[in-house]
Chain A
């Protein structure tokens, strides 16, 4: 069964450093998402991406965040200058044209900012 792949599974970074979280969505999917889950809390929407541009973003997704699909297969989330409160599990997801069908999440990247 097709999977959404996220790397790394766990990343530790120092406050103020830039991090890039990587995702390989399912190949024929067209919509891509990042969600965040602070430890012990609910999963929150960050951003959606379609046709090589951001289609929606939440209040969490401020200027420190950016997304990119650099090569047609990878979908990345960059945090420019990490803060302690950015420590969370970050989930990538993708969907097909039907959007709500085949909404598949990756296994997540746990980001720890120290």
Chain B
């Protein structure tokens, strides 16, 4: 069965600090996709990244970076030099063939960046 674990319920950092959000997943499929979404206070889901199981290359996009490690079934998300606008709930999600390619979300991590 699919499972996504985000052990950090809430994190608070001071502006300009770096912060890493953890995501651990479980799947029996060899082909799967991992996602990160941001949910700001306004409530919408903002797509951040999609990574397939065959691509373990880390990715950087501005202040955001992602570390995908199949050996530990983790897909961690780092924000460098955090800003107040980064305050949101961040969800990690998994999609695999067994789950009919629907998204299974983790419980989310609420990030608060203190000015």
Give me the interface of A with B, judged by CB distance under 8 Å: 33, 35, 41-45, 48, 55-56, 89, 91, 99-101, 103-108, 110
Contacts and interface: CB of A to CB of B under 8 A. Distances in A.
Q: Which 5 interchain pairs have the tightest Cβ spacing?
A: A107-B44, A105-B45, A43-B105, A56-B100, A45-B102
Contacts, number: 47
A84 B21 CA distance: 33
Contact of A43 (B33, B42, B45): B45
Contacts of A110: 43
B100 A35 contact: no
Nearest to B6: A42
A49 to B, nearest CB: 12
B87 interface: no
Interface string B98-115: 001111111110000000
A2 to B, nearest CB: 13
B36 interface: no
Interface in B42-74: 42-45, 47, 50
A100 B95 CA distance: 8
A43 B43 CA distance: 12
B47 A105 contact: yes
Contact of B105 (A44, A55, A101, A107): A44
B103 A103 contact: yes
B91 interface: yes
B106 A42 contact: yes
